[in-house]
Amino acid sequence: MPEFEKLPVENVIDILARLSVTSLGRCRCVSKSWRSLISDPIFINEQLSINRDRRRIDGDHHHYSYIKYSDCSTHKYVSGNSSTYHSLRCQNSCREHKKIEKPWLTGVCTITSSCNGILSLLHCHPIGSVYFYAIFLWNPLIKKIKILPKPHFQTSASIDESVAIGFVPQANEYKVVRLNLARTWDDSSPQTIEIYSLRKDSWRTWTGEDIQWRLFGDTSNVSVNGSIYWKARKNVCDGDSQLIVISFHLADEVFKEISLPEYHRAHPDREVWFISVSVIHEKLAFSIARGSETPYKEEVLEIWLLEESYNGESWTKFRNLIFHTDMYMEDSRFIENGEFALNESWNNRLIVLDPKTQRIVANHGSRQKVLTCTESLVLLNEGIDVSSTEMWKFALDLENEKIEACRKMEEEEKRRRVINEVIGAVEAFFPICIMGLMAIIGIMAILNIFVDPFFAVMCLVALICIYIIAFV
């Protein structure tokens, strides 16, 4: 240890930054100077940068983890009570490494995106037609979580909501983008977009051009190279829509439409089974699965990469995977050692496939989702421990808020029911009251027909007017 302290700080940083985040957690307990060094934002960025370069240049994937979690939702959210999270390490093959401690949250919860080891987590509980929820940033490998302030706008069951996190390299800043978009073209619901800044710890409403597209399928997204990408559809004419990819540049905060590969546009008649966006080799990947052109019953998974150059953007074919249709693959995820994690719908399982041999090298049981989670120390300073008292208190407050919202909704429903009963009673007795009034006026007219003819005529006029107003 004394000899280690004699090394220049630059060498110490270079050595420590190559360790896993688990080892760095232990190193923080060695001394105050190491704790201060590892907690420094400069070191956190350096550790992330070194690991990214090692993966790209040396092919070292030991610090590249994947989160496997069960999708127990029947709608667009995942049940937080029954979902489980596991870390997968990609060494010789993608094998289950360990179970991850997840935040203690009741209700409905799902992972919406990932960036540099941070996962955006959406906790949601529907009350009537309105969703009450909280948004978190979670680094599962260092067990830190950041509770975000409440957004300005609520969402409803008729709205497509997407929460995505991305990194702005130019400003060294993380942003969360929240889309609230109408699901259909004829829906007049207000469309809102909010942006959260981790540095400022606040939300603000995005003010830009009108949105001329809708999200396609699920609301999944990916973040790479300072932009966030979604699958979308654009209305062209006569109710027809065109599939596109939408990007949001985080530095300029501008949306951009990206056309799909020409080969896909040239074969619109081939049956499409699923479409997804992901990240491969730090590039946007577009995957589409559909029937092959051969007479054999096969499923072809085409994977394209978006190349950026001075001349603009273009798609290049990365790989074709061919399966028998009795396997029916969907929701693919490329693993940096060259394998693919795929959900096999027919046998309801998650498998890891070696594309070179077309052999299944790992079987993870039931269908589950897999997303990339780079080992990093992001949120080390901004976050709180997943199992901390503060997190438990916040979860309890959320539950109390849900109970209070349910109570208010029940009271409102009871009040509405009483009002409807009163209105129903009035409507039931109204004809009887009118008939009684008309009978009294008629008797008065008869009694005064010789005493005061003018008054009798006025009673008859009033009788006719009441009849017209009440029954005609």
Give the separation between CA 284 and CA 277, rounded to whole angstroms.
Answer: 7
Whether residue 395 lies inside any domain: the answer is no
pTM higher than 0.75: yes
pLDDT tens-place values along the chain, 472 residues long = 566 667 787 888 888 888 888 888 888 888 888 889 899 988 998 888 887 776 655 544 444 566 666 654 333 323 333 445 555 544 444 455 566 777 777 666 788 888 998 999 888 766 665 666 788 999 988 889 999 998 887 766 556 678 999 999 888 899 999 988 876 667 666 778 899 999 999 999 988 777 788 888 777 889 999 999 998 888 776 667 788 899 999 999 999 999 888 766 555 556 666 788 888 888 899 888 776 665 556 677 888 999 987 777 889 988 887 776 555 566 667 776 677 777 776 667 777 777 777 777 777 666 667 777 788 899 999 998 888 888 888 888 888 877 887 888 888 888 888 888 888 887 778 778 878 888 888 888 888 877 788 888 888 888 888 878 776 6
Ramachandran class of 411: left when φ > 0, alpha when ψ lies in -120 to 50, beta otherwise: alpha
pLDDT at 91: 44
pLDDT at 74: 30
Helices (H), 97-174: none
Bridge partners (DSSP) of residue 86 are 68, 99
Does residue 250 share a domain with residue 170? yes
Ramachandran class of 379: left when φ > 0, alpha when ψ lies in -120 to 50, beta otherwise: left
CATH number, residue 277: 2.120.10
Token pair of 224 as six digits = 């790479």
pLDDT at 397: 84
Q: Are strands 312-324 and 329-334 parallel, antiparallel or unpaired?
A: unpaired
Q: Are strands 144-147 and 155-156 parallel, antiparallel or unpaired?
A: unpaired
Whether residue 349 lies inside any domain: the answer is yes
pLDDT at 358: 73
Does residue 71 share a domain with residue 19? no
Whether residue 50 lies inside any domain: the answer is yes
For the chain, give the number of residues.
472
Final residue before a domain boundary, out of 43, 58, 73: 58
Does residue 278 share a domain with residue 185? yes
User: What is the SS3 assignment for 466?
Assistant: helix
Give the separation between CA 319 and CA 125, rounded to whole angstroms.
Answer: 40
Does residue 76 share a domain with residue 46? no
Does residue 81 share a domain with residue 36? no
pLDDT at 252: 92
User: What is the SS3 assignment for 58?
Assistant: helix
Q: Which residues contact 260 (CB under 8 A, 6 or more apart)?
A: 243, 244, 245, 286, 315
Identify the H or E element spanning 465: helix 453-471
Give the separation between CA 462 and CA 446, rounded to whole angstroms.
Answer: 14
Token pair of 392 as six digits = 């438990």
pLDDT at 183: 67
Whether residue 369 lies inside any domain: the answer is yes
Among 241, 299, 235, CA closest to 270: 299
pLDDT at 356: 77
Does residue 88 share a domain with residue 216? yes
Tally of domains in the chain = 3
Is the distance from CB of 137 to CB of 165 less than 8 angstroms?
Answer: yes
Does residue 107 share a domain with residue 10? no
Residue 63 — φ and ψ, nearest 5°?
-105, 20
Residue by residue, what is the 3-state secondary structure of 362-415? EECCCCEEEEEEECCCCCCCCCEECCCHHHHHHHHHHHHHHHHHHHHHHHHHHH
Identify the H or E element spanning 344: strand 340-344
pLDDT at 161: 77
pLDDT at 365: 67
Give the separation between CA 394 and CA 123, rounded to whole angstroms.
Answer: 12
The whole domain housing 443 covers: 406-471
pLDDT at 201: 93
Return the number of other C-beta atoms located less than 10 Å from residue 273's C-beta.
17
Is the distance from CB of 241 to CB of 233 less than 8 angstroms?
Answer: yes
Please calculate the CA angle 69-75-79 and round it to the nearest 5 degrees: 40
Final residue before a domain boundary, out of 41, 58, 75: 58
pLDDT at 73: 38
Whether residue 210 lies inside any domain: the answer is yes
Does residue 380 share a domain with residue 449? no
pLDDT at 90: 45
